[in-house]
Structure 1
Amino acid sequence: MRRYRPAWEAEPKFSGWLTSLKGDGTKAFCKLCKCTLQAHKKDLSNHASCKKHIQAFKFSQMGASNVKLTKFYEANIPKERKIAELKLAAFIAEHCSMAAVDHLGELLPSLDKTSELLCGIKLHHTKCTGLITNIISPCMLAELLHDIGDSPYSMIIDESTSIDTKKMLCMIVRYYSQTSKKLVTTFYRLLEIEGGDADSLTDAFKKQLAMDGLDIKKLIGIGVDGANVMVGEHHSFRSILKESLPHLTTVKCVSHSLHLAAEHACKVLPSHLEYIVREVHNWFSCSTKRQIEYALLHETLVGKKPLKIDKLSGTRWLARIGAITKILDQWDALELHFLLAKEKERCFTAGQLHLMLSSKPNQLYLRFLRHSLKPTTDCNRMFQADNVEPLKLLTELHGLLLNYLSILVPPERLNNVRRQDLAGFNFRDHVMNINCINLGYSFNEAAAVIDQNELRLIKERCVLFLCEISHEIQKIIPRNLNLLEIIAFFTPDSATSQVRPDVGDIVWPILKT
């Protein structure tokens, strides 16, 4: 049976866009405008001449004339350009801010317009980030894990809070590389963790090692700070790991511990000493005008420009003695400056600082601190050095405690104590009379103008400082001292000696793992 064909479908001006409505042969449908029409010639002609239909017809003609894409994208990037862009991305990741790559990507093609390689480089912020995140980082991590393999390894771990209040766990791995034939210490992971408690830290740590295919039983040591959540005796990161890894060695950060020991010992001295050091820096830190005025005054008095006073900080462990030294070196100029500032600005802080700098006992305390903190600072600097012999570290750490004890304890009593027993030595029962204790040449020189009763009180506090810092060093030394003694067995002098120490007790637990 032949299909009924309406007369309007045969009209040339209606072909291509007009058809009958599905389900209702009495109505028409415009395929371009997607609308239903009455099946009358006059209505269809009016629609064909309307603006909407004419514009839709033009667009359909333009689309018909375009060449159909058979392939959306065809990769045609030379291998040399890929290598160059990856090297540039690695350079940015190690040495520069990511914002610098936008300018660098535009600068390189302009260096040599005849170079096909330079002119072809297309590298900006988005692409550089993608190369680092999706290509360079996974490849470097895979190489690192392959290099570690089944070898024993140690971890240096620290937990912190980022600027956007996220808890982060930084992990650094230390192992012997079979490829490089040397010990390697390198960055391993930066993890975002749910909380800063011991359980969250331990779960995240174990989970990440398992995901990367590292055997946790090969973990022989961890380096951590002195926080209770890390090294506390009860339910800490260390104690939880110790349950499954009895052989695990824990090393607390000696630099951090020495800083905390000095900070704790300073609490027995007058609190306004720290106020002097902190506020002298704050007075100049935010005022260019004050800096210029003080520089002119200091240059007039001394003949040279003053050094900037260091800022006290909980993370800059070597700053305290530097700030004290610079304040003592500029004492007279600072005293005069705050006298002038008190009268000119009518400032309470300037008046307080001038009053404190006019006090001879305060200067005496700071002279004592400069002399007494120097051994701790020198030892701290030694532990922060890049290349130091372990045996030298052992000597420095032992010598630091011995230095303070030799000031407090009579020589004949101290000579009877073995070196390995110094950490447990009850020195408080043998402290000399304060008149017999030498607190340094600088202290003795300035003490001549102090009243004797007041001088005795100052000496008592200074001796108490020495006792406190010695006690704090005793608490942090025992485990580290024993560990450094063990490490000293592997120094070149011991290894090449005719009489070599027995290292069986050290190596055997490692071989069993």
Structure 2
Amino acid sequence: MTGFVNKEIHTFNNQVREAEIRIAAFVAEHNLPYAITDHLTKLIVKTCPDSKIAESLKCSRPRVQAIVDNVIGEESFKALCEDLRNNKFSLIIDESTDRSTTKHLCLVVRYVKNYQVRDSFLGLIPLVTADAATLYNNIIDFFKVYNIPYEQNLIGFASDGANVMMGSNNSVMTLLTNELKELFVMKCICHSFHLCASYACSKIPRFVENTIRDIYNYFSSSPKRVGMYREFQIFCELKIHKILHPCQTRWLSVHAAVSRVLEQYQALKLFFIDASLNDEVLAATNILQKINDPVTLLFLQFLDFVLPIFNKLNKEMQSEHAKIHVLYDQVCTCLKTLFECFLKRDYVKNTVLEKIEYKNPHMFLNLDDMYFGANAMGTLLKDKNLTSEQTHLFKTRCLQFFIEACDQIIARFPIKNNPIQHFSAFCPENVKKGERPSIVDVVAMFPKLHDSPNYQELDTEWRLLRNTKDISKFSDNIEEFWMSVSTLKCGDNSAMFPKLSAFVFNILVLPHSSANVERVFSSINLMKTCQRNRLCTRSIIGLLHTKQYIDKNNCYNFPIGTELHLKMSQKGWYTIQTNE
């Protein structure tokens, strides 16, 4: 009888602990202040007066903070470190300064677990200085403290293109590659393409960008003007949309701002006619002059056509899924699309991409035959008020845009002899075609992605795979396809393609951008608000690992394993750090 009672008490205690853990997870998931739990527990008791679990809850602010930091967050971190000890991984880093002027180095890792490529927040290191040696030493010390064998398991590195990160002389990249000779390095393609578009846009007359900013600034701090403008939107039967700000540090914002101005162009014109007549504000008159200038409309329509070429690739490469296998083809497609706007099509079609002389005027189309976007071409045909000088200015500046854009892309992403072009061989559709007889060249270029110096075993598996009929039924999603390949068995029930599937998953672990780190900083900004600006680094780390632990399951559904119950039953977990 005593054993039965003890079992009941143990079950009840576990139910109380689970409730406390879920409340702590709820607070972390929704970026709520810890102080709210002092009142939340009283509310739960009041609304559930008959619940013994509610009466037994202990969810004070310090206790919930300790659960987040020392129970859920710590177990999440321990599990991640264990995964990194047993799997190859890539490291993606960036540094940023938060609201309280605390500079942090953020570490994100990409690795494979259960045949899925996942990005996981690893750590946040406070910094005083952010020179290359300091960043490098902090990274190496972090791996050593937590016993992560980076010399064997670190296969890829990515960050933005800042000199301290990716400079050719003294940077984190050079220090890492000096120690890890075969490390795969990728400068974030999203940052790179943003810069390509920015440099190309410098060839467009400055007044175009100034006009967009002036329109935004005219409305940004005046509710009265916004209210008046709404009447013009209704009159023109347009959606009630705000004018957007073209922020230079945001990858996709410029095109969104251009597109919004074009959408509202007629209403804006009518509004500024009225404003210039009635308000006698010089800014309104200047904006009206620019809006009435047909060249402004032409350049906006051109940007509305050309910027999505960059943004489409940018959006795809911000994906949390593996994209390294399609990156080379996507960049080449983007480059060809730009080439065909101003170069002779036969020349582009019949010339190897890296040998195209895109600066050679002999290969240019006539100015009148170049492509500047359908809407801009329509305006050129319809608007009889355009002078030949205006038309020539528009076309020559757009040509300069194309050349500068191609220049920047090729400088930042070499087309010739780029090793990642071979990764497309592992796309499901290409594997199913069976056109590639050997992968020795790819294996030789990336020796760190496989454990054996014997290429023959890998190549034999590859040659067998291309003749296996079962793969025709597999998914075209690359992770699902290679998961199915890894489950194929021989007659003796041993794995049929163990080395090949492991090699390909290591390729998928290689990074293509640093967007995942940017997402972490965005998450931190939601936590460390103006009201919570004293939130310390330790608590931020606990919150981030807690969010990661509950992951796709919300706080109501995530599984609470025995390790969390055991952790809460141990002495010493209920400690907190200096916090808000």
Band of TM-score, shorter chain:
0.7 to 0.9
Superposed CA deviations along residues 84-132 of structure 1, whole A, max 9, x for unmatched, are 2122212322333225434433332233211101222121333211221
Instruction: Tell me whether 1:366 sits opposite 2:297 in the alignment.
Output: no
* Aligned position for 2:265: 331
Conserved? CA contact 1:382–1:393, under 8 Å: no
SS at match of 1:96: coil
Superposed CA deviations along residues 295-350 of structure 1, whole A, max 9, x for unmatched, are 112211x2244322222123431221121122112212112212222333332222
Please list, as runs of the form range in 1=range in 2, the aligned pairs for 1:214-225 lying within 5 A after superposition. 214-217=148-151, 218-225=153-160
**Counterpart AA for 2:157:** I
Alignment match of 2:366 (pick from 419, 429, 433): 433
- The Cα of 1:479 is off from its aligned counterpart by 7.2
- 1:197 to 1:370, Cα distance in 2 relative to 1, 3 A: same
**Counterpart AA for 1:490:** F
* Aligned position for 1:129: 65
**Counterpart AA for 2:266:** D
Conserved? CA contact 2:118–2:320, under 8 Å: no
Conserved? CA contact 1:102–1:124, under 8 Å: yes
* Aligned position for 1:444: 377
Superposed CA deviations along residues 237-269 of structure 1, whole A, max 9, x for unmatched, are 111111111111111221221111111111111
* Aligned position for 1:511: 450
SS at match of 2:450: helix
* Aligned position for 1:139: 75
Instruction: Tell me whether 1:248 sits opposite 2:183 in the alignment.
Output: yes
Distance in 1 between residues matched to 2:254 and 2:207, nearest whole Å:
15
- The Cα of 1:458 is off from its aligned counterpart by 1.9
Conserved? CA contact 1:397–1:481, under 8 Å: no
Q: Which 10-residue stretch deviates more, 259-268 or 431-440?
A: 431-440
Conserved? CA contact 1:278–1:312, under 8 Å: yes
TM-score, scaled relative to structure 2? 0.70
Distance in 1 between residues matched to 2:42 and 2:423, nearest whole Å:
52
SS at match of 2:247: coil
Instruction: Tell me whether 1:172 sits opposite 2:103 in the alignment.
Output: no
* Aligned position for 1:95: 30
Percent identity (aligned): 26
**Counterpart AA for 1:338:** F
- Report which of the two structures shows the higher radius of gyration computed on alpha carbons: 1
- 1:305 to 1:491, Cα distance in 2 relative to 1, 3 A: closer
* Aligned position for 1:228: 163
Instruction: Tell me whether 1:201 sits opposite 2:135 in the alignment.
Output: yes
Please list, as runs of the form range in 1=range in 2, the aligned pairs for 1:343-354 lying within 5 A after superposition. 343-354=277-288
Alignment match of 1:289 (pick from 215, 220, 224): 224
- The Cα of 1:464 is off from its aligned counterpart by 0.5
Distance in 1 between residues matched to 2:221 and 2:420, nearest whole Å:
45
- 1:240 to 1:387, Cα distance in 2 relative to 1, 3 A: closer
- The Cα of 1:387 is off from its aligned counterpart by 4.4
Distance in 1 between residues matched to 2:416 and 2:350, nearest whole Å:
23
Conserved? CA contact 2:238–2:264, under 8 Å: no
- 1:490 to 1:95, Cα distance in 2 relative to 1, 3 A: farther
SS at match of 2:64: helix
- The Cα of 1:492 is off from its aligned counterpart by 2.5
Distance in 2 between residues matched to 1:334 and 1:304, nearest whole Å:
11
* Aligned position for 1:463: 399
TM-score, scaled relative to structure 1? 0.78
- 1:289 to 1:370, Cα distance in 2 relative to 1, 3 A: same
SS at match of 1:222: strand
- 1:123 to 1:170, Cα distance in 2 relative to 1, 3 A: same
Superposed CA deviations along residues 136-164 of structure 1, whole A, max 9, x for unmatched, are 22222111111222422111111111222
Please list, as runs of the form range in 1=range in 2, the aligned pairs for 1:263-274 lying within 5 A after superposition. 263-274=198-209
Q: Which 10-residue stretch deviates more, 314-323 or 228-237?
A: 314-323
* Aligned position for 2:555: none
- 1:398 to 1:84, Cα distance in 2 relative to 1, 3 A: same
Q: Considering only aligned residues, what root-mean-square deviation do their CA atoms show, in Å?
A: 2.4
Please list, as runs of the form range in 1=range in 2, the aligned pairs for 1:4-43 lying within 5 A after superposition. none
Distance in 1 between residues matched to 2:237 and 2:300, nearest whole Å:
24
**Counterpart AA for 1:331:** Y
Which structure carries more relative contact order (alpha carbon 8 Å, separation 6+)? Answer: 2
SS at match of 2:413: helix
Distance in 1 between residues matched to 2:244 and 2:179, nearest whole Å:
46
SS at match of 1:415: helix
Conserved? CA contact 1:101–1:123, under 8 Å: yes
**Counterpart AA for 2:29:** E
Instruction: Tell me whether 1:307 sits opposite 2:241 in the alignment.
Output: yes
Distance in 1 between residues matched to 2:337 and 2:162, nearest whole Å:
27
SS at match of 2:123: strand
Distance in 2 between residues matched to 1:441 and 1:305, nearest whole Å:
23
Conserved? CA contact 1:109–1:119, under 8 Å: yes
Contiguous gaps of at least 5 residues in structure 2? 1-11, 453-580
- 1:511 to 1:391, Cα distance in 2 relative to 1, 3 A: closer
Superposed CA deviations along residues 183-223 of structure 1, whole A, max 9, x for unmatched, are 33211001112212111111111111111111221211112
SS at match of 1:268: coil
